[in-house]
Structure 1
Amino acid sequence: MAQIEDMEKVICEAMEFNNPVQFSVFMRLPLLNGSETGEIVQIEGHIHYINQQQKISHVMDSKGDTNLIKFEDVVSA
């Protein structure tokens, strides 16, 4: 629970002050037999928007691409 609160604080401060963030995110890779596997990837950028209803952060990286990150997929921030 404390980790979630710490992560929320970091995200809110990063958005407020336009600080760059780095997320470790679990990216799912579906398999042909219906099961899922995945890998942990690093996403760096600035938080552009947080959708509380859908629980998704919009993070713009250095290339200008928007990465949609589900809260449940964040391993660390």
Structure 2
Amino acid sequence: MFDNSSQMVGVVQARRGPMVILIRPSGLRWQTRAVSVRNANDRDLIQLAALARHHQQVQTLARLRRRVRS
């Protein structure tokens, strides 16, 4: 879903009445009004996939750095 108020793309984690909780691959969560979100278009989905790849690469790099320092 794309949140027009924050201009960010995320996945719906929960819906509570008129509010929606969205989450990004990094774990960032935010709450917004359900009326301010729309279905993600192709560009938004590409961005979400890129964010997921980036987050995974950052996590892998962090694990490798911890191993080297240990």
Normalising by the smaller structure, the TM-score range is 0.3 to 0.5
By percentage of residues, which structure has more helix? 2
Question: Between Structure 1 and Structure 2, whose CA radius of gyration is higher?
Answer: 2
TM-score, length basis structure 1: 0.41
By percentage of residues, which structure has more strand? 1
